[in-house]
Structure 1
């Protein structure tokens, strides 16, 4: 059942006392990397980013995303979980997990929605940032044991060219849209002795009138979390819409999720410094947990020394 945003905000003040501001996140330092692995059984370090700019190796800008990794090197703790959208394929995911393992404390592995996504229809693998696109969950394999996965496609109107008809799976078209194939996995945390379920989502753009099905898409994401179970549930990714569309954000709160960035702002409609794509906040990290989170932040390009993707990353320490 949807609830009013004002009801959600009653408990915001207590959370804001522990959240840090963008100014206190810190800037990338020229000093050696200071990050360490998180050994606490109480919380997980979680990042999310749509990595559009992580291009195939043949493309000139294939390492621009390293700016974000360089920023993370200067943080106290490396990610336990990193959800990514618009990764190219299994080969690129393997390259990415090796890169993270080489650059950061910890050893990383990942699960992908589709190993070999269909073509987006571009004439170059470098066109529109990349020609193959899907989603993945990356995790520290030195902390977690992979247990299970579930996959599903995001919804758009039945006639996605006109925005009419009921919501249904957006099946492959002449521009494959395998980037709307979501994945959720269940991991066993060997430090906390807890199960955690994590989803990486990407919903259709307004080209396919995807905003109209945002409420259905958050419902399906929550159903995936229910299928997997776990003490802690995290749904993160690119919703391609703001929190005020079709009641989806209120529905998420009604399902028991919390939005660290919204709680930091005191409203789901955050000020511009939390926009993740141009003038919109469309990338989210949603948490269903009894103990909340802290250190929530949006990673601005001023912190990374320049653009690292078309999208800004979001991060939080998520408590069990």
Structure 2
């Protein structure tokens, strides 16, 4: 073979290799880009999670990055993401920026209290959880923010008396400050109201006021209106406590996880959102059904991402 011919052959192999490499990269890029925003006018992709301040894995053995990775691997990014126990406006801004950077779509959020009072923790890891409140995150490329309402969850006065707003103390309970927002869906041409709630814990006998807290959440939605109403949050109360869950059903709310389990208040243990109970919920009023309903377990996420499991559903208008 002549030297010129050998050179032509080598050049052909080089070009072929480049074409194969470019093709492989292109195919990989196509695979990565398979996750997309939801453009459907008939349904919303919704997630809820108590994110436990997204503390480093060295503190509590949780790695919240696993949940972000899980969401990134799903076909559609969230339209709505309700979160509890977020630290402050700085952490919310960092989270919405990260979601905008790493997911299809752009994100914004509204927080219950921009600078919550101290929880009174003294340990090194505890200081990272010293501020706690709640927020609603939404796709700002789909929704226009319209209005908000805020209120505090109830607990028994002096732990035994009538239900009253749990006011801040030296170990502040600003994590019980709830927020609901009304958003205009520019694709569906409808208004949707979304609430992120956190009810008081057993420390304050908060579950004794679960039925009152459900009523106040429903009242908040009445103040905002909207064609669709979505509540996400940490109730610290199981479905049977003070009949709050049945009260919610009476107000017109549906529970996609319960419907996945058969329609009643009880679900198998795989739907527990903490070690032994189901206390984190998505509830929907004026919707017309669900799909892709799931409790996101450690197995699904590849490890423990929070002390609470997330719940998700596609919610139909």
Instruction: Give the TM-score taking structure 1 as reference length.
Output: 0.86
Task: Quote the residue 1:213 is aligned against.
Answer: 209
Structure 1 counterpart of 2:284: 287
Aligned counterparts of 2:287 and 2:45: Cα–Cα separation in 1: 16
Alpha carbons 2:119, 2:172 under 8 Å: kept: yes
Deviation at 1:174, TM superposition (A): 2.0
Would you say 1:254 and 2:250 are equivalent positions?
yes
Contact 2:35 2:104 (8 Å CA) reproduced? yes
* 1:56 CA displacement: 7.7
Q: Cα RMSD over matched residues? A: 1.8
Partner of 1:245: 241
Structure 1: gaps spanning 5 or more residues: 1-30
Identify the structure with bigger relative contact order (alpha carbons < 8 Å, sequence gap 6+).
1
Describe the SS at the equivalent of 1:94: helix
In the TM superposition, residue 55 of structure 1 has moved relative to its aligned partner by 2.6
* Corresponding position of 1:203: 199
Structure 2: tracts of 5 or more residues without a match: 1-30
SS at match of 1:117: coil
Q: What secondary structure, in the 3-state scheme, does the structure 1 residue paired with 2:52 have?
A: coil
**Which deviations, in whole Å up to 9, do the C-alpha atoms of 1:224-269 show, x marking residues without a partner?**
0000000000111000010000010000000000000001001211
Name which one, 1 or 2, has greater alpha-carbon Rg.
Answer: 2
Deviation of 1:291 after TM superposition, in Å, equals: 1.0
**2:40 matches 1:43:** no
Would you identify which runs of 4 or more consecutive aligned residues in structure 1 move more than 3 Å? 31-34, 59-63
Confirm whether residue 177 of structure 1 aligns to residue 173 of structure 2. Answer: yes
- Tell me the CA shift for residue 147 of structure 1: 0.3
| CA distance in 2: counterparts of 1:290 and 1:54, whole angstroms | 31
Counting matched residue pairs gives 286
Query: How much has 1:32 moved relative to structure 2?
Result: 3.4
Measure how far apart 1:34 and its partner are: 3.3
Q: Do the aligned partners of 1:189 and 1:196 also contact (CA within 8 Å) in 2?
A: yes
- What is the CA-CA distance between 1:126 and the residue it aligns to? 2.5
Contact 1:53 1:62 in 2 (8 A): no
User: Does the CA-based 8 Å contact 1:33-1:74 persist in structure 2?
Assistant: no
